[in-house]
Amino acid sequence: MKYILQRLAFYLFTAWAAITLNFFIPRLVPGDPVQSLITKYQGQLSTKSIQSLYVLFGLDKDKSLWSQYIDYWKQLFHGDLGLSFTFFPAPVSQVIGQALPWTLLLVGITTVISFVLGTSLGVVAGWRRGSWADGLLPVTTFFSSVPYFWLGIIAIYLLAGPDSFFPSSGGFDSGLVPAWDQYFIPSAIQHSLLPALTILISSVSGWILSMRNMMVTVSSEDYITVAHAKGLPERRVAVAYAARNALLPNISGFALALGFIVGGTLLVEIVFSYPGLGYTLLQGLGAKDYPLMQGVFLVITISVLVANLLADIAYLLLDPRTRKEG
Amino acid sequence: MTIPTSSIEQVIPGQGSMAQPEEPRPGRSRRQRFLFVRNKKAATGLVILAGYTIVGVIGPWVAPYDPSARGNDLVQGPSAAHWFGTTHLGQDVFSQILVGTRSVMLVGFLAGAIATVLSVLIGVTAGYLGGKTDDSLSMLTNVVLVIPAVPLMIIITSVLNNASDMLVALVIGLTSWSWNARVLRAQTLSLRRRDFVEASRASGESTWRIIVFELMPNLTAVIASGFVGTVIFAVLSEITLAFIGVVSNSGWNWGTILFWAQGQQALGQDAWWWFVPAGLAIALLGTSLSLINFGIDEFVSPRLRSAGKTKLRTASGRTVRMRIGFTPVLENSPLPKTHAVVATPVMREAK
User: What's the CATH number where A145 sits?
Assistant: 1.10.3720.10
The fraction of chain A above a pLDDT of 90, given in percent, is: 1
How many domains is chain A partitioned into structurally?
A: 1
Residue A283 lies in a domain: yes
Confidence of residue A59 (pLDDT cuts 50, 70, 90): low
- Using an 8 Å CB-CB cutoff, list chain B residues near A285: 154, 158, 244-246
Question: What pLDDT score does A225 carry?
Answer: 87
Closest Cβ opposite residue A144 in set B5, B14, B160: B5
Taking CB atoms and an 8 Å limit, are A150 and B278 in contact across chains?
yes
The 10 Å Cβ neighbour count of residue B218 is 20
Angstroms from A180 CA to nearest CA on chain B: 31
The region, left, alpha or beta by phi > 0 then psi within -120 to 50, assigned to residue B42 is: alpha
The Cα–Cα gap between A217 and B298 comes to 12
Note if the bond before A89 is cis, omega within 30 degrees. yes
Identify whether the C-beta of residue B191 lies closer than 8 Å to the C-beta of residue B216. no
Residue A280 lies in a domain: yes
Average pLDDT over residues B138-153: 86
Question: What pLDDT score does B341 carry?
Answer: 38
Domain containing A236: what range? 92-290
Candidates A141, A200, A202, A268: best to mutate against B (most CBs of B within 10 A) is: A141
Candidates B159, B232, B291: best to mutate against A (most CBs of A within 10 A) is: B159
Q: Where are the domains of chain B?
A: 33-305, 311-349
- Using an 8 Å CB-CB cutoff, list chain B residues near A37: none
Taking CB atoms and an 8 Å limit, are B147 and A301 in contact across chains?
yes
Q: Which residue of B has its CA nearest to A305?
A: B146
Residue A23 lies in a domain: no
Task: Give per-residue pLDDT as tens, B30-41.
Answer: 555 555 666 778
Q: Which residue of B has its CA nearest to A297?
A: B151
Candidates B40, B147, B262: best to mutate against A (most CBs of A within 10 A) is: B147
The Cα–Cα gap between B310 and B308 comes to 6
pTM for the predicted model, two decimal places: 0.79
Candidates A124, A153, A261: best to mutate against B (most CBs of B within 10 A) is: A153
Taking CB atoms and an 8 Å limit, are B323 and A129 in contact across chains?
yes
Taking CB atoms and an 8 Å limit, are A231 and B282 in contact across chains?
no
The Cα–Cα gap between A309 and A287 comes to 34
Helix, strand, coil proportions of chain B in percent (round to 5)?
65, 5, 30
Question: What pLDDT score does B48 carry?
Answer: 92
Return all residues near A96 (Cβ < 8 A) that are at least 6 apart: A81, A277, A280, A292, A295, A296, A299
Question: What pLDDT score does A126 carry?
Answer: 83
* H or E element, residue B319: strand B319-321
Q: Which of A166, A249, A152 is nearest to A201 (CA)?
A: A152
DSSP tag of B182: H
Identify whether the C-beta of residue A318 lies closer than 8 Å to the C-beta of residue A251. yes
Residue B20 pLDDT > 60: no
Average pLDDT over residues A137-146: 76
Q: Which residue of B has its CA nearest to A11?
A: B143
Average pLDDT over residues A278-293: 82
DSSP tag of B252: -
Residue A175 lies in a domain: yes
Task: State whether residue A23 sits within 8 Å of chain B by CB.
Answer: no
Return all residues near A175 (Cβ < 8 A) that are at least 6 apart: none
Identify whether the C-beta of residue B184 lies closer than 8 Å to the C-beta of residue B120. yes
Q: Where are the alpha helices (DSSP H) in A25-91?
A: 33-40, 47-56, 65-77
- Using an 8 Å CB-CB cutoff, list chain A residues near B303: 216-217, 220
**Dihedral pair phi/psi, residue A91, rounded to 5°:** -70, 150
Q: How many CB pairs under 8 A join A and B?
A: 238
Task: State whether residue B10 sits within 8 Å of chain A by CB.
Answer: yes
Reduce the DSSP state of residue B247 to 3 states and report it. strand
Task: Give per-residue pLDDT as tens, B304-324.
Answer: 666 555 566 666 666 666 655
Q: Which of A123, A293, A105, A97 is nearest to A210 (CA)?
A: A123
The Cα–Cα gap between B351 and B341 comes to 17
The Cα–Cα gap between B83 and B273 comes to 9
Of A114-123, A297-306, A317-326, give the lowest mean pLDDT range: A317-326
Residue A119 pLDDT > 80: yes
Residue A127 lies in a domain: yes
Q: Which residue of A has its CA nearest to B237?
A: A147
Question: What pLDDT score does B331 carry?
Answer: 52
The Cα–Cα gap between A60 and A51 comes to 8
Residue A242 lies in a domain: yes
Taking CB atoms and an 8 Å limit, are A297 and B310 in contact across chains?
no
Architecture per CATH, domain B33-305, reads as Orthogonal Bundle (1.10)
- Using an 8 Å CB-CB cutoff, list chain A residues near B146: 11, 14, 255, 259, 304-305, 308
Closest Cβ opposite residue A259 in set B148, B156, B278: B148
Task: State whether residue B340 sits within 8 Å of chain A by CB.
Answer: no
Task: State whether residue B113 sits within 8 Å of chain A by CB.
Answer: no
Angstroms from A62 CA to nearest CA on chain B: 24
Q: Which of B45, B101, B51, B44 is nearest to B288 (CA)?
A: B45
The Cα–Cα gap between A11 and A105 comes to 23
Q: What is the DSSP string of B11-74?
A: EETTTEESPPPPPP-GGGHHHHHHHHHHSHHHHHHHHHHHHHHHHHHHHHHH-SS-TT---S--
Residue A283 pLDDT > 60: yes
Question: What pLDDT score does A151 carry?
Answer: 86
Taking CB atoms and an 8 Å limit, are A264 and B1 in contact across chains?
yes
Residue A119 lies in a domain: yes
Paired residues of B16 in beta bridges: B12
Residue A43 lies in a domain: no
Question: What pLDDT score does B112 carry?
Answer: 93
Spell out the SS3 assignment of A257-312.
HHHHHHHHHHHHHHHHCCCCHHHHHHHHHHCCCHHHHHHHHHHHHHHHHHHHHHHH
Please tell me which of A185-199, A233-247, B101-115 the model is most confident about, judged by mean pLDDT.
B101-115
Reduce the DSSP state of residue A154 to 3 states and report it. helix
Taking CB atoms and an 8 Å limit, are A290 and B14 in contact across chains?
no
Q: Which residue has the higher pLDDT, B171 or A184?
A: B171
Taking CB atoms and an 8 Å limit, are A217 and B7 in contact across chains?
yes
